[in-house]
Structure 1
Amino acid sequence: MSYSRERLQRAQEAMGIAAKKSLGQNFLVSDTVINRIIDQVKAFAPEELVEVGPGPGALTDLLLELNLPMQVIELDSAIAAYWREKGLTVIEKDALRLDWKQFYTGKRVVFVSNLPYQISSSIVIERSLEDDGVAAMVLMFQKEVAQKIRGTVDSDLYGLLSVFAQAFWKIETVTDAGPRDFQPPPKVASRVLSFERIESDVKNRKAFLTFVKCAFAQRRKLLKKNLSGLLSQKKLTEEQLVGWLAELGFKETARAEELSPKQFVALYKHFGFE
């Protein structure tokens, strides 16, 4: 038995808990995966740490060994109480309903999590919407979601999530994890991604998100058709859009999946949302 599996058993006994399906809890028990996550966190040279969903502590115990200021966000009251008793600062709230401004300390904050699958896409969108104090992230996803986040132009997996995430982060694959790397085993494969903030001149990120959503609204339609509503809203013409596409090297028959994240930003700028 691995060290992580033994530790999980001890922690669950101490907490009096089992994984809750309703909260999407699949506890990480692979020493290899855990160590690769911790190594990536260290590579980002954090000054403070935030972990979402510490659970029985597969990552938490090793993160604490880094001797950095650290907070955890935990929705499960029994788990939250356990870590509070251990002396950790615990925020007992839903990570999607949290005011992340409390982490804006001016220091380099790294966010790490074995995310519940049902909130993973939303977390990436939320953290991309704000140029906040989170400098980098190391996050676990369902493998297909991770592939969408790193999707490339003209691939079936390239879409809203790819463009929006890549516009604000440098994203790399850290490691893969199979069902046996968790307890209980999920039905799908997983992948860990690292995110490091990159500079962006997009000021109105909500408007940019709306723009990208419209662009991908119907994948089979031409980009100019999907953006027709925004053209009307901003009192712009289809001819203007065709001209902007030409500047980027595209024909008027271009579809959303042909444009890179940088090209999306360039096209968005013409719409005057900033």
Structure 2
Amino acid sequence: MSLPPETGLPELRDVIARHGLAARKSLGQHFLLDPAVCARIATIAGPLDGRQVLEVGPGPGGLTRALLASPAAHVVAVELDRRAIAALAELSDAFPGRLTVIEGDAMKVRTTELMPDGPRRVVANLPYNVGTPLLIGWLKQAALFESLTLMFQQEVAERICAAPDTDAYGRLSVLAQWRCHCRMAMRLPPGAFTPPPKVWSAVVHLTPHAEDPAPELLAAMEKLTAAAFGQRRKMLRSSMKSLGDSNVLLEQGEIEPTRRAETLSVAEFDRLARLLAARG
């Protein structure tokens, strides 16, 4: 997967120098410039034929170029850094009608307004400082997407994909796996980025489950996991007291009250959340 030579696009390092796009720590920026790596990430996202693709934090546009080299129908790139807008405009000119650049905060963007027509996918090298809250927001509306292919710090990626009764397993693991099938698809060393971060990074591919939980069930799961993992070293009968009579809820869910949150499977959390939602 590569861009056609007739686009005449400059090297990304030249783009960065020309637009003064040195990465800013305050924005959690670490740019991916290697075309082969960017192409591989676009491939992990699966067939993009006719898809609407959302990218967050494109920076100078390395991954954006790979997405435009795919058969994606349209790419919407949301970028907070004003310096990158002019650089991305060059891509927009090279691919008329296929790239829309939005200057703004992805945390405040309404996906359905940017991409009113599906099918939709998210493919992004997320800024480190907003990766987790962005994911949680997308999980709440996972039914909008066919898949999400997202780059995180490896520690966060491991938490998303962690199995029960492991150190990495926690609230993020449960919320992500409750809504999606999650797999670690790629790991990248610090040297793959400009500038190199201090940690490894990883791409997680998430495919939403068919069932779209009702708002009250979603709210119950958020409340349940917040309580259970808020004091994860305590037994559930203590950590879940804020939810009411925790012993009754645990008994109804056939969960031993002396267990701790990290030992429960996603299916067991689902069972408790449904009971909690039924309480009204």
TM class by smaller structure: 0.7 to 0.9
Structure 2 Cα separation of the partners of residues 159 and 226 of structure 1: 14
Shift of 1:103: 4.2
Structure 2 CA distance for partners of 1:273 and 1:200, relative to 1, 3 Å = farther
Aligned mate of 1:112, from 123, 126, 137: 123
Aligned mate of 2:232, from 211, 214, 219: 219
Stretch of structure 1 that moved more, 126-135 or 88-97: 126-135
Tell me what 1:100 maps to: 111
Equivalent residue runs for 1:6-85 within 5 Å: 7-43=11-47, 47-67=51-71, 68-85=73-90
Q: TM-score, normalised by structure 2?
A: 0.86
Shift of 1:85: 4.8
Stretch of structure 1 that moved more, 21-30 or 113-122: 21-30
Equivalent residue runs for 1:194-273 within 5 Å: 194-200=205-211, 202-204=213-215, 205-231=218-244, 237-246=245-254, 250-271=255-276, 272=278
Structure 1 Cα separation of the partners of residues 113 and 68 of structure 2: 20
Alignment RMSD, CA only? 2.0
Shift of 1:65: 1.6
Percent of aligned pairs with the same amino acid = 34
Q: Please, which runs of 5 or more residues in structure 1 have no aligned partner? A: 1-5, 232-236
- Decide whether the 8 Å contact of 2:54 with 2:120 is kept in 1: yes
* CA deviation map 1:27-84 (0-9, x unaligned): 1134443232011123465611111111111111111122421111000112123323
Q: Which amino acid aligns with 1:196?
A: T
Structure 2 Cα separation of the partners of residues 146 and 197 of structure 1: 16
Structure 2 Cα separation of the partners of residues 102 and 132 of structure 1: 15
Shift of 1:260: 1.2
Q: Secondary structure at the match of 1:215?
A: helix
- Decide whether the 8 Å contact of 1:173 with 1:194 is kept in 2: yes
Stretch of structure 1 that moved more, 250-259 or 116-125: 250-259
Stretch of structure 1 that moved more, 200-209 or 16-25: 200-209
Structure 2 Cα separation of the partners of residues 140 and 266 of structure 1: 31
Runs in 1 of length 4+ with deviation above 6 angstroms?
none
Q: Secondary structure at the match of 2:205?
A: strand
Shift of 1:242: 3.6
Tell me what 1:141 maps to: 152
* CA deviation map 1:75-119 (0-9, x unaligned): 011212332354331111111122223145341111111111111
- Decide whether the 8 Å contact of 1:52 with 1:73 is kept in 2: yes
Q: Which amino acid aligns with 1:119?
A: V
Structure 2 CA distance for partners of 1:238 and 1:28, relative to 1, 3 Å = closer
Structure 2 CA distance for partners of 1:99 and 1:105, relative to 1, 3 Å = closer
- Decide whether the 8 Å contact of 2:57 with 2:126 is kept in 1: yes
Stretch of structure 1 that moved more, 82-91 or 49-58: 82-91
Structure 1 Cα separation of the partners of residues 155 and 50 of structure 2: 28
Q: TM-score, normalised by structure 1?
A: 0.88
Shift of 1:127: 0.5
Shift of 1:187: 0.6
